[in-house]
Amino acid sequence: QVQLVESGGGLVQAGGSLRLSCAASGRTFSSYVMGWFRQVPGKEREFVAAINWSGSGTNYADSVKGRFTISRDNAKNTVYLQMNSLKPEDTSVYCCAAGRWGMGTMRPDYWGQGTQVTVSS
């Protein structure tokens, strides 16, 4: 069992930056692919980024590529999402996930409750 708690969301102006953190419980954190997803009310959950167990491999949605960076610190059981050059369309609830990689996408087994990111124009 893995429990995930996100932090770092908030209100920021367009062009600004935020850094999200996701703290995980459990001794098997380093064995999971970790990722971030986002969702706005009335829309489907959208994949944002994922990182493999060692941190050597990452994957991003086209909409955030070049602006967002995912990283992890296995010693701290924490995964991060550095978000730069934020746009109003990045406004969403961002959720951390732990899972596997399969068939070209991340397949979450565990979810955090999410943190709100609001980007004003």
pLDDT tens figures, 102-121: 888 899 999 999 999 999 99
CA dihedral 29, 32, 33, 37 (to 10 degrees): -70
Answer for the pair 8, 21: CB distance below 8 angstroms, yes or no: yes
CA 1 to chain centre: 19
pLDDT (0 to 100) of residue 88: 97
pLDDT (0 to 100) of residue 116: 98
Closest by CA to 77, choosing from 32, 33, 30, 42, is 30
pLDDT (0 to 100) of residue 8: 98
pLDDT (0 to 100) of residue 104: 83
Number of helical (H) and strand (E) elements in the chain, helices listed first = 0, 11
Tell me the C-alpha distance between 107 and 97, whole Å: 9
Long-range contacts of 51-57 (CB under 8 A, 24+ apart): 51/79, 52/101
pLDDT (0 to 100) of residue 4: 96
pLDDT (0 to 100) of residue 49: 97
Both structure tokens of 64: 């955030």
pLDDT (0 to 100) of residue 29: 85
- Give the three-class secondary structure for 90: helix
Q: Which pLDDT tens digit goes with each residue over 11-70?
A: 999 999 999 999 999 778 888 999 999 999 899 999 999 999 999 999 999 999 999 999
pLDDT band at 96 (very low <50, low <70, confident <90, very high): very high
Instruction: Tell me the mean pLDDT in the region 84-113.
Output: 95
